[in-house]
Amino acid sequence: MSIVIAIIAFCIIILIHELGHFFVAKAFGMRVSEFAIGMGPTLLRKRGRETVYCLKLIPMGGSCSLGEDEDSDDPRSFRNKPVWQRMLVIVAGAVMNLILGFVVCIFAVISSGDITTTTIAEFKDGAVSNSQLMVNDEIVSINGMSIWTSMDISYCFQNQLAKLSDDAKSVSYDFVVKRNGQLVELNDVSFALNQSPDATKGMIVDFYVYPQSLNFFNTIETAFKTSLTEGRLIWITLLDFLKGTYGINDLSGPIGVVDSIGKVAAISLNSLFLMIAFISINVGIFNLLPIPALDGARFVFLLIEAIRRKPISPEKEGMVHFVGLCALFLLFIVVTFNDIVRIFTGG
């Protein structure tokens, strides 16, 4: 059942993305030749007035065929529409994914039952951080990273933990807190480390934060902040990948994503919503990157056209996207193989 939920969730994320392209294109009177969900052999096919709607076997992709790389005399063709309209069509898919992420974050907040703030409520027994931190301190930043949600606190703690040596007994952070209405800088706030039975070092987060009852306004605010947090974490991870902190083996493809959704679905509804929101926002941000074959690269070509007031040859642009598509397909094969290995080896 978890796998079924995961596949449905993944298909919804893809569907929303393609519907963004589809509806904006239709709103501008563009001709859409095919709207497809999935990849590979066609399972269902229905011809509308001018668009063929398809459901394909492999639920790991989709398409909204606009003839972006084709010259045509049809005034309704994509390339014959004003460049600003084409720009909006191209970014619409990613924007829809970002909106979906925000909406799902609302459900995540509601399903949690309350809101966890970033204000310290009490310290656990044996706490050491209370040598500098105090009850009612509102955490503003940790190690220079602005804290918007309790998720940010967890990320900062775990990110620093991963950099420690095996024999470390404690870890310290630089905090900025709001105390009695004033910003206070606290350097080298220490937290003790423990050694769990499986020899995995874990940090003792030695304080609790206040919960807050839900209402309409703080639900929307928290969902928005959660969306921003997840988007920021995606950018941070991307930059870490470019820096070499992570490698190809750390990436996951559609199979790994479905597996991850299935696992969190078995934990709680809140975890499932947060994972779906994270993936949807991830899809939105990734598609805006200027990588050939992705929406971001197509937007760059349209931006160049708008500046020089002359379109780039569709053959040349098409070749660039074809090369990018081949590279992405090769990456897809690699990450899919890694996903399968991880699943069967428990890695």
Domain ranges of the chain: 2-111+275-345, 115-212
User: For residues 118 and 153, is the Cβ–Cβ distance under 8 A?
Assistant: yes
Q: Which of 18, 68, 230, 317 is catalytic?
A: 18
Calculate mean pLDDT across residues 182-198.
80
Quote the pTM value.
0.86
pLDDT of res. 189: 93
pLDDT in tens, 117-151: 999 999 998 888 999 999 999 999 999 999 999 99
- Choice between 239 and 248, residue whose per-residue pLDDT is larger: 239
Tell me the pLDDT band of 169, cut-offs 50, 70 and 90: confident
Residue entry with tokens 């160049």:
304
User: What CA–CA distance (Å, rounded) separates 25 from 88?
Assistant: 9
Share of the chain above pLDDT 70, in %: 96
User: What CA–CA distance (Å, rounded) separates 106 from 249?
Assistant: 33
Least confident of 116-120, 124-128, 219-223, 286-290: 124-128
pLDDT of res. 196: 47
**Residue 324 zone, left/alpha/beta (φ > 0; ψ -120 to 50; rest):** alpha
pLDDT of res. 269: 87
Calculate mean pLDDT across residues 219-247.
89
pLDDT of res. 346: 67
pLDDT in tens, 307-342: 998 988 888 888 998 998 899 888 888 888 888 888
Pairing of β 170-179 and β 138-142: antiparallel
Tell me the pLDDT band of 195, cut-offs 50, 70 and 90: low
Tokens of 159: 């990110």
User: For residues 173 and 186, is the Cβ–Cβ distance under 8 A?
Assistant: no
For the domain made up of 115-212, give the CATH fold.
Pdz3 Domain (2.30.42)
Q: Concatenated DSSP letters for 261-330?
A: HHHHHTT-HHHHHHHHHHHHHHHHHHHTS--TTSHHHHHHHHHHHHHHTSPPPHHHHHHHHHHHHHHHHH
Least confident of 65-79, 108-122, 143-157, 207-221: 65-79
User: What CA–CA distance (Å, rounded) separates 109 from 33?
Assistant: 39
- Percentages helix, strand, coil for the chain (3-state, rounded to 5) are 50, 20, 25
Tell me the pLDDT band of 199, cut-offs 50, 70 and 90: very low
Closest to 190 measured CA to CA, from 210, 163, 208, 169: 169
Asked about 70 being catalytic, the answer comes back as no
- Choice between 144 and 170, residue whose per-residue pLDDT is larger: 144
pLDDT of res. 200: 43
Tokens of 4: 């079924």
pLDDT of res. 347: 59
User: For residues 139 and 175, is the Cβ–Cβ distance under 8 A?
Assistant: yes
